[in-house]
Amino acid sequence: MVDPTCGLSCPAGYAEYDPSTNTWQLKTPVSAVHIYDITSYEDNDLWLFGADSDGAAVWRSLDDGDTWLRVRSRATQDRYYWGTVVNGKLVAHSGTGFKGPVEKYDGTDWFEQALPGSTDSFCGIGGQQGGPTPVVFKGRMICRDSSQYFAYDGDSYNTLNINAGTALAGPSCQVSGGDYITTDQYLYVLCTDANSSGTGQGSVVLRTRNLTHWDRILDVPYNASALDVDESTNTLYIGTTDSKLYAGTLPDSDIDDPLESYCFDFNADTGGVMYYYEHQDNNSSNPLCAADVVIPSTIGGSSVRSLRNMNTTMVTSVVIPDSVVTIEDYAFLNSELTSVNIPDSVVSIGRQAFYQSKLESVMLGSSVATIGEEAFASNKLESVSIPNSVTSIADSAFELNNTSPHTLDFSTIFQEAMATWADPDNPTEEEMSALYELLVTRMTEYFQSANFVRLYTVDPSNPNGLEDSSRVETLADIFADLFPPGFDLSASAYYGGHLINPAQITLMYQSGSGQTLLPASTNTGVGLTSYRVAENPANDLSLYYRIGQTQTFTPPNIAGYTTPGVYSLTFGAGDNSHIFIYRNPQASLLASTGVSRKALLLVASATLCISIVLFWQRRRIAHFDR
């Protein structure tokens, strides 16, 4: 651009670089008094912002600058000072005497937006009094007037508190005379550090990656007025009002926030992550936050101590830092997690913290003391190791864990029923009755497929006296209000729960030669072969075997074999198994005489041959006697 401060002595146009000749060529394509800015809104267009003899004007070219058309003019304003593009909208500012509204173009119409109760802009219009030309950073247009900074996303704006975490002397960064630039990752701001009385103390450079947490980079000369950064050489440049240029090395950031930290709504006072955003900075124009979440141990220099709402419908995995002490109620409710490792720093896990997720494995850290109501309910867990630190497990903490494919999705059930209706908008009584019957069937299948989660204390003696938990109701107890009178809702609704230190044994039945005589059987308790709650309709938890318990097993009789003796064992914490060996009496007799099976066959064959010979000889003797 031609320097807009040289007034009428400069031609009104723009400069175009020719890389083939390494030269700049001045372009003056329109009849303009001023040209202050140029930008591109779409891939094949150019826009000029300035003024002609009628007042503020905007021109557009659709052929790479060969021809231009004036598309916007405002006789009530002196000139357009700048134009930029943010989130698919062209944003410009016209004004007179550094005042006037911001205008935006959405591809069809123009709109104005100003400060509440005023026609003035929330951005400056360029120059020392109004602030530099805006820049776009992380999907927001950043601009300022003579006293404050703004961030605008094309629809709404907010003011920026740019001294957060920077240890500035005053309550806010005084911006008069400041400058700002952007790089791929940072927004750099030059402003004045003021004390509580507002007296200027000097200039400072700040930077941010998320418009929330700011890092004080460098103290610079008090009369600094412009800055630039070359991140490739790690160099900061400062220009001053007395025409001097300073260069310095960019220091390491005092606040080492990983980019992932921009995905968290964080309360520094409590150390709590309040929410996990879908997009960085909760701005839909910014990059998506990762589904594989790595939670930082610090955000903005403050330790992350608790987790609340992790927006887990989008989270597929998570790494929890060892700074976290509390996983609060509902933190990972309805998540897509299939596994989670709770670090040793965590002391408490709140109500429904991982409720109705897809967990198949959980590793609890060595400091967890309490596990809240339904904390791990409605998952796919089979067993969990419980550290000695756990002193309290809510009765419902592990209810409705289900490793079968049965789910209770009412919308799917309704769709299944409605697919058979002649008129989905007007079902008949018979069709509604069939729907209710289907609901009962699916609910019964769901509750009967629940299983007990096996909890194994690190110390098998269960030093904290943790207890089993189970709940059985009827469908009527839960769903009676959903059904009309007359439906049989007496079926049991098994919620399951958890068992402390259960044990099981696998029994195998083989012959002396290793032949399997009967299928192996798994025994989880007296008359029980699994941990499915429906197999124990009496809900008698004392039937299940436990680690340290001694139990005797009697093998079944198998025809043709000698039944082995009973087997007794004290259940251990690992896999328990035993093979019953059955003996064949004939094989035992042969073995005891020392005669091999082959020898016996040879003897039998010889005996048979001798018998046949003797038989024919007797017949011949009888024949001659006649």
609 and 580, same structural domain? no
What digits encode the pLDDT tens for the residues 202-234?
Answer: 788 888 877 766 777 888 887 888 889 988 888
Q: Give the total number of structural domains in the chain.
A: 3
> Length of the chain, please?
626
CB 331 within 8 A of CB 355: no
- Domain check: are 619 and 520 in the same one? no
* 236 domain-assigned: no
400 located within any domain:
no
- The pLDDT of residue 447 is 82
pLDDT given at position 10: 61
Predicted local confidence at residue 164, as pLDDT: 47
Q: Is 54 exposed, middle or buried (0-12, 13-18, 19+ CB in 10 A)?
A: exposed
Residue 552, phi then psi, degrees to nearest 5: -110, 135
pTM as predicted: 0.59
Specify the 3-state DSSP secondary structure of 4: helix
User: What whole-number distance in Å separates Cα of residue 99 and Cα of residue 76?
Assistant: 12
Q: Tokens 């069709």 map to which residue?
A: 431
- Amino acid, res. 35: I
Residues 560 and 537 in one domain: yes
Distance of CA 477 to the CA centre of its chain: 35
Asked if 568 and 604 sit in the same domain, the reply is no
What residues in the chain have per-residue pLDDT under 50? 1-4, 127-130, 164-165, 169-171, 195-200, 254-256, 600, 621-626
Q: Are residues 621 and 564 in the same domain?
A: no
> Are both 9 and 81 inside the same structural domain?
yes
Mark whether 537 and 603 lie in a shared domain.
Answer: no
- DSSP structure class, residue 610: H
Distance of alpha carbon 242 from the chain centroid: 53
615 and 509 in one domain? no
Nearest to 551 by CA among 568, 564, 566, 565: 568
Task: Please work out, in degrees rounded to the nearest 5, the angle formed at the alpha carbon of residue 601 by the alpha carbons of 596 and 604.
Answer: 125
* Residue that finishes a domain, picked among 131, 160, 189: 160
71/619 Cα distance (integer angstroms)? 132
* Same domain flag for 578 and 602: no
279 lies in some domain: no
Which of residues 97, 130, 160 is at a domain's end? 160
3-class secondary structure for 269-325? Answer: CCCEEEEECCEHHHCCCCCECCCEEECCCEECCEECCEEEECCCCCCCEEECCCCCC
Give the integer Cα–Cα distance in Å for 349 and 354.
9
| Same domain for 113 and 137 | yes
Identify the domain boundary among 112, 134, 160: 160
Which residues fall within 8 angstroms of residue 610, CB to CB, at 6 or more apart?
none
CATH at 156: 2.120.10.80
551 and 612 in a common domain: no
Q: Residue 61 sits in which domain range?
A: 4-160
Judgement on whether residues 582 and 521 belong to the same structural domain of the protein: yes
Question: Residue 568: phi, psi to the nearest 5?
Answer: -120, 140
Cα–Cα dist 293/320, whole Å: 9
